[in-house]
Amino acid sequence: MSTLVYLEHHEGELQKGALGVLSKAAQLGDADVAGVVVGSGVRELAADAGKFGAAKVFVADDPSLDAPLPQPRVDVLAALVGEHGYDTVLFHASVLSADIAAALAARLEAGLNWDLVDIEGTGDGLTGKRPALGDSVLVDVGWKSAPRLAIFRSGTFEPKETGGPAEVVDVSAQLEEHSTAATMVERAHEESSGPALEDAEVIVAGGRGLGGPENFTLVEELAKALGGAVGATRAVVDAGWYPYAHQIGQTGKTVSPKLYIAVGISGAIQHKVGMQSSSTIVAINKDPNAPIFEFSDLGVVGDLHQVVPKLTELVKQRRGA
Ligand SMILES: Cc1cc2nc3c(=O)[nH]c(=O)nc-3n(C[C@H](O)[C@H](O)[C@H](O)COP(=O)(O)OP(=O)(O)OC[C@H]3O[C@@H](n4cnc5c(N)ncnc54)[C@H](O)[C@@H]3O)c2cc1C
């Protein structure tokens, strides 16, 4: 087996999700695990990937690759697969990686399994695990031919430092004419403070029980006091109360912080699947029969408007002391 992992980077850092997939690839026992970094001014990121299990990291470093557009990246990956015969190409879930994986599958006429939450070696092949039926069951999925392409659900694997520096191999980007047709017009960054949802050890998430977008400050203040990030349910995202980037669940992000505080959240299955692997779950809900209490470690039955400000105040006092 030979595995190539796409290592997405932003603002000078390899993405945690991609490093998690790389660590998992290394654990599969495949000696030939390589990463690939594509961009401009990204060469120094490559060696770092060795720590997470890459024996080799290919780097396509060129000013023409600066914009995070998929097609030039597909050219680089397709050339590597063609030249080195990688039989498995793995991606973590992100908008860019999903675009690249889909286009690479079309280019190579390869099978792509997506939304996987695990993968294991079976004989001389691989079997992926994919949640189905509202995440209530896991199904085994496979590939009929190589190369096998897969996208893993975000937050599935933690990066594990197991190795040393990787051999860095420069590759030149031979771009197809159609791959340069798109240009990036503008890049905008959402201003945010505190840790990213995927990395946060503490998440305070708000639901429709907040009653309105203005009450999200209750959640934000508690998250700030705990040094955590803010999450949201789809109900409040769909209502426009909070941005989609904060949505947790089946159609949002999967998180596994040490502490997850659910404020005014009923605990629908589609929300549960995105946060159920949190170490400790605390729910604040006025309905004692809310489903969230069935999978919470600690439940507070009460009006969030009374409970949350007091809790925030207490946390501030304790932390200040
Ligand atoms: C295909 C599909 C995908 C989906 N994907 C997602 C997803 O990714 N993420 C997600 O979250 N949802 C998802 N959903 C939606 C999901 O089914 C639920 O509708 C949603 O999670 C409910 O959000 P909520 O808990 O904020 O709202 P509600 O279910 O309305 O719950 C609000 C809760 O707040 C409590 N409450 C009200 N007032 C107070 C108060 N003053 N104090 C304390 N508690 C109070 C109520 O008792 C209630 O339990 C999906 C649905 C479908 C069909």
Tell how far the Cα of 272 is from the centroid of ligand 1, in angstroms: 10
pTM (predicted TM-score): 0.74
Q: Are 271 and 248 in contact (CB under 8 A)?
A: yes
Tell how far the Cα of 117 is from the centroid of ligand 1, in angstroms: 24
> Cα–Cα–Cα angle for 233, 92, 195, nearest 5°?
50
250 lines ligand 1 (CB under 6 A): yes
Tell how far the Cα of 268 is from the centroid of ligand 1, in angstroms: 6
Q: What string of pLDDT tens digits covers the 321 residues of the chain?
A: 899 999 999 989 999 999 999 999 999 877 789 999 999 999 999 988 989 999 999 999 999 999 999 999 999 999 999 999 999 999 999 999 999 999 999 999 999 999 999 999 987 789 999 988 867 789 999 999 999 999 998 878 989 998 788 999 999 989 999 999 999 999 887 776 778 888 899 999 999 999 999 999 999 999 999 999 999 999 999 999 999 999 999 888 888 899 999 999 999 999 998 999 899 999 999 999 999 999 999 999 999 999 999 999 999 999 886
Nearest atom within ligand 1 for CA of residue 249: 8
Q: Are 71 and 184 in contact (CB under 8 A)?
A: no
- Which run of H or of E encompasses 39? strand 32-39
251 lines ligand 1 (CB under 6 A): yes
User: How many residues are recorded in the chain?
Assistant: 321
pLDDT at 25: 95
Looking only at the bridges linking them, the beta strands covering 111-116 and 125-132 are unpaired
Tell how far the Cα of 264 is from the centroid of ligand 1, in angstroms: 8
Nearest atom within ligand 1 for CA of residue 236: 26
261 lines ligand 1 (CB under 6 A): no
